[in-house]
Amino acid sequence: MPPTFQDILLFTGGVYGLAWLVCRSKLLAPLRARLLPVPFLGPLVHCIVCTSAWVAMGMALILPFSSVFSTGFRVRGPADLGILIGWTLTTTWVLGRHMKDAD
């Protein structure tokens, strides 16, 4: 069973929302300030597109444990993971530019 349109829409929205939470929310502003001096993590938590790659990877890995997505929406190999990450990088960039969130 292939993924449904609803699966793709939920995944895209979930990744964007979680990346926004990490990069733009007031709730996590103290964490971002503490991570800013760290060479790799500082830039990562300030770029919504960069953060979306890691969020997408994490979400993709927990798909089998989620009841929100259909059973056909699973990562079955590196190609699936790469496609999902590429998809979310693109959609996060487009949404971020449209909403003035992308750097």
Number of neighbouring beta carbons within 10 Å of residue 32: 16
Q: How far is residue 103's CA from residue 99's CA, in Å, rounded to a whole number?
A: 11
Whole-model pTM: value is: 0.87
Number of folded domains in the chain? 1
Residue 103 falls within a domain, yes or no?
no
What is the span of the domain harbouring residue 58? 5-98
- Percent of the chain exceeding pLDDT 70 equals 98
Residue 39 lies in a domain: yes
- 89 part of a folded domain: yes
More confident residue, 57 or 103: 57
**CA 54 to CA 56: how far, in whole Å?**
5
